[in-house]
Structure 1
Amino acid sequence: MAGYGIITQNVEYTNYLLIIIGLTLLTTGVIELQKNIKGTTGYLSLIAALFVLIVAIQGALLGS
């Protein structure tokens, strides 16, 4: 999807791409936290996922 957007200069599907990236980060964060490995990777993934999902939802609602 990202390659298509870059090649055609079409940003119509950017919100869908952001939602997919956000869900992937959310899944990664949850898996890292379930492993109980000491580190900040899980927390950073969750924070990034929430940010990306908020931006994607805001972009979809504003129609940009």
Structure 2
Amino acid sequence: MCDEQAERRRHESRGFRPLIQFPSIHTRLEALLLAMAAKANDLQFQKEQKTATSQYCEHGNFLPPNGHS
């Protein structure tokens, strides 16, 4: 731990400074999982929209489900 701090001080004295302090591994994993869930949710929504659109086009009804154009 002392070596790490000494190394950091040496880098900072040369003008190197980390732009961000990385959060703990748990925080990073949580952020990754949230991003993956959001992407999966978005893909599912797009799939449902595509299915709904193709069903309405097949029946000759070009209005969206709520009836407004």
Normalised by the length of structure 1, the TM-score is 0.43
Query: Does 1 or 2 have the higher relative contact order (CA < 8 Å, sep 6+)?
Result: 1
Normalised by the length of structure 2, the TM-score is 0.40
Hey, which of these two has a bigger chunk of helix by percent? 1
